[in-house]
Amino acid sequence: MGVKLGILGLGTVGTGTVQLLQDKGFRHPLLQEVEIYRVGVRSLDKPRAVTLPDSVLTTDLEAIVTDPAVDIVVEVMGGLEKARSLILKAIQNGKHVVTANKAVISRFGDEIFTAANQAGVYVMLEAAVGGGIPVIQPLKQSLSVNRIHTVTGIINGTTNYILTRMQTEGSNFSDVLADAQRLGYAEADPTADVDGLDAADKIAILASLAFGGRIKLKDVYSEGIRQVSKTDIAYAEKLGFVIKLLAIAQSAAPLAAIANRTTPSSPLISVRVHPTLVPKAHPLASINGVNNAILVEGEPIGQVMFFGPGAGAGATASAVSSDILNLVAALKKSKTALNPLLACAHQDYCQIVPMAELVTRFYARFLTKDQPGVIGKLGTCFGNHGVSLESVVQTGFQGELAEIVVVTHDVREGDFRQALTEIQTLTAVDSIPSLLRVV
């Protein structure tokens, strides 16, 4: 019997998730176990980008979270109070929950996780921070033995898009914001993004996982980007910095030591969101546009950075679906069977493309006699094998020999090798000292 999902919401994230779950080919075998049993929406009349049987779509969300047949409730409707009460009711009814709702988790996480622990169910939230970037699960599992010092994130795509454009174009905040709204990057009411509130929700969640304690949202300092001017950006640039909206959660243990405080029984941390001058060589300085990145620093791991799309249907659906698969694996695990996500699930060998079939660009450096027509002969040999050149330059001499550097367009490696074999027969060609692939 399949694992039945009750999905609350069929907007951007809900639609992306349904599309991903419906596409069973060449993804994960556990997807075969998932049944989209009910999907709750506000309106049945809206045109939808996915096809679902009439019996699946409903406007009665209460009925979904109380239906004994539903195993997992996937909350992707957004908002606060209604989402909170539906999540709590799902938990009371013994359902595991997957949510993408950082606003609800950062405000009501205390109540929700207490209820989930009492009910013996899981609440999963990979999509709540960083969209498609896997960062929740790594903090919970892969990095869990580390002592985390700092989590620093660019975790709001809208503000990063605005700051990137102000930086590259020298534009004003208000002009770029208006443009971002026209292009659909920023919401009609951009307050939560530009005032740092969305990033505050997200860093509260990351801090809680990294430092092992609950966080009250009111304790998270947050400052947005409205006051960042193009003048500040230009001065920062001259001084070797870029301005980014950083969300930072940092252990304050060294401060406690300086102040002669005894080791606190719970972690002492600072959690804040503010525009920050970031040195150009810093790993977060080159994260541009709507992308997100989270830099985790700890002991003994050192620095680890997670980078990727912080929003969007496909990216967020990837995170929601990974939570669903984790729950399906947990639900399916019997005392004797292995956890299908931990055990090796493959029996067949992959087919590997031979290197001759690889399509890539090449860089090649030739040493040739310095005589007329050599570059033409090289070009002819490449042309004979369908290899198209992006650039050819004669860079100078090595002793008596001319040095010629060639960069190709994308070519079949086998064709490129045949061209080289022909080139090596030319009396004008002395040697090919370098041959590198170009990405």
- Residues carrying an active site annotation: 202
Q: How far is CA 230 from CA 158, 162, 165, 176, 233, in A?
A: 17, 11, 10, 11, 5
Q: Give bridge partners of residue 294 from the DSSP assignment.
A: 153, 306
Q: Which does 386 bind (CB under 5 to 8 A by kind): ligand NAP, ligand HSE, none?
A: none
Question: Which one of ligand NAP, ligand HSE, none is in contact with 76 (Cβ closer than 5 to 8 A by kind)?
Answer: ligand NAP
The contact mask relative to ligand HSE for 285-304 (x = CB under 6 A, - = no) is --------------------
Strands (E), 104-208: 123-124, 147-154
Compute the distance between CA of residue 413 and CA of residue 165 in angstroms, rounded to an integer: 39
**Region 361-390 residues binding ligand NAP, contact defined as CB under 6 A:** none
Q: Which of 1, 43, 399, 427 binds ligand NAP (CB under 6 A)?
A: 43
The Cα–Cα gap between 300 and 181 comes to 43
Give the three-state DSSP class for 126.
helix
Residue 82 as a binder of ligand NAP (CB under 6 A): the answer is yes
Asked if 136 contacts 143 with a C-beta cutoff of 8 angstroms, the reply is no
d(CA 306, CA 135): 7
Q: Binding to ligand NAP by residue 14, rule CB under 6 A?
A: yes
134 is an interface residue for ligand NAP by CB under 6 A: no
Q: How far is the CB of 174 from ligand HSE (least distance, A)?
A: 18
Q: How far is the CB of 130 from ligand HSE (least distance, A)?
A: 8
d(CA 419, CA 425): 10
Q: Cα(133)–Cα(292) distance, rounded to whole angstroms? A: 8
Determine if 311 is a binding residue for ligand HSE (CB under 6 A): yes
Among 12, 99, 158, 167, binds ligand HSE (CB under 6 A): 158
CB of 308 to ligand NAP, least distance (A): 12
Cβ 87 to ligand HSE, closest distance in Å?
Answer: 18
Of the candidate residues 200, 310, 319, 418, the single one contacting ligand HSE (CB under 6 A): 310
Residue 157 binding result from ligand NAP, ligand HSE, none, given CB thresholds of 5 to 8 Å by partner type: ligand HSE
Q: How far apart are CA 293 and CA 135, in angstroms?
A: 10
Helix then strand count (H, E) for the chain reads 14, 17
Q: How far is the CB of 31 from ligand NAP (least distance, A)?
A: 21
- Picked from ligand HSE, ligand NAP, none, the partner binding residue 251 (CB below 5 to 8 A depending on kind) is none
- From the list ligand NAP, ligand HSE, none, pick the one residue 77 interacts with, judged by a Cβ distance below 5 to 8 Å according to partner type: ligand NAP
Rounded Cα gap, residues 268 and 207, in angstroms: 11
**Of all residues in this chain, which one has the CB nearest to ligand NAP in the complex?**
11
Q: Classify burial at 118, counting beta carbons within 10 Å of its beta carbon; exposed 0-12, middle 13-18, buried 19 or more.
A: exposed
Q: Of 151-159, 324-332, 358-366, 406-414, which part binds ligand HSE (CB under 6 A)?
A: 151-159
318 binds ligand HSE (CB under 6 A): no
- Residues found in the chain: 439
Helix, coil or strand: residue 40: strand
Query: Cβ closer to ligand NAP: 93 or 360?
Result: 93
Among 6, 109, 131, 190, binds ligand NAP (CB under 6 A): 131
E strand spans, 28-117: 34-40, 57-58, 72-75, 96-99
Q: For residue 9, is it left (φ>0), alpha (ψ between -120 and 50) or beta?
A: left
Please identify which residue in 71, 75, 193, 323 interacts with ligand HSE, judged by CB under 6 A: 193
Please list every residue from 196 through 215 that binds ligand HSE, using CB under 6 A.
Answer: 198
Distance between CA atoms of 209 and 384, rounded to whole angstroms?
A: 60
Tell the smallest beta-carbon distance from residue 344 to ligand HSE (Å). Answer: 34
The entry of ligand HSE, ligand NAP, none that residue 18 binds, CB within 5 to 8 Å by partner kind: none
Q: What angle do CA 362, 366, 369 make, to 5 degrees?
A: 155
Q: Least distance in Å: CB of 86 to ligand HSE?
A: 20
Check residue 292 for interaction with ligand NAP (CB under 6 A): no
Q: From 72-80, 133-141, 153-161, 317-325, give the range in contact with ligand HSE by CB under 6 A.
A: 153-161
β-partners of residue 279 are 241
Using CB under 6 A, pick the residue from 152, 316, 321, 418 that binds ligand NAP.
316
**To 10 degrees, the CA torsion angle through 92, 94, 100, 106?**
40
Site residues, ligand HSE (CB under 6 A): 156-158, 193, 198, 310-311
Site residues, ligand NAP (CB under 6 A): 9-14, 40-43, 46, 61, 76-79, 82, 100-101, 127, 131, 311-312, 316
